[in-house]
Amino acid sequence: MNKKKKTWFDNRLRYIFKTITYKTLSIAITIFAGWVLTGNMAIGLSLGLVEVTVKLLVYYLHEEAWSKIDFGKEIKIKTKKKKKKSKKKKNMSSDN
């Protein structure tokens, strides 16, 4: 099974969809809690609007920051291969 290499856009698109689904649940909980605590649906909706606006941005920035941190990720180290000297050159230099 061939895995398609993810592009910059694929990774960003995934973050955007994660953010939207997370915030949908979060705002519903905030609206409901505001409504239950105050008994006023308008206040619940207002709290939800403020919450979604601020926290959507904070969540996205948080994900971006963590994508740049190597902590907990597998790190591959690139090493340079040394070039082997040819035997002909070695033998020629020993003839002198």
pLDDT in tens, 4-22: 777 777 788 888 999 889 8
Residue 22 within any structural domain of the chain: yes
Residue 95 within any structural domain of the chain: no
Residue 56 within any structural domain of the chain: yes
pLDDT digits (tens, 9 = 90+) for 26-85: 889 999 999 999 999 999 999 989 887 887 789 899 999 999 998 888 777 777 776 666
Helix, strand, coil content of the chain in percent (nearest 5): 70, 0, 30
Sequence-ordered list of residues with C-beta below 8 angstroms from that of 22, at least 6 positions apart, any chain: 59
- pLDDT at 90 exceeding the cut of 60: no
Statement: the pTM of the whole predicted model exceeds 0.75: no
Sequence-ordered list of residues with C-beta below 8 angstroms from that of 35, at least 6 positions apart, any chain: 41, 43, 44
- Residue-wise burial string across 34-63, b where 16 or more C-beta atoms lie within 10 A, e elsewhere: bbeeeeeeeebeebbeebbeebbeebbeee
- Number of domains forming the structure of the chain: 1
pLDDT of residue 86: 59
Query: Residue 22's domain spans which residues?
Result: 8-71
Residue 14 within any structural domain of the chain: yes
Residue 27 within any structural domain of the chain: yes
Average pLDDT over residues 85-94: 57
Residue 2 within any structural domain of the chain: no
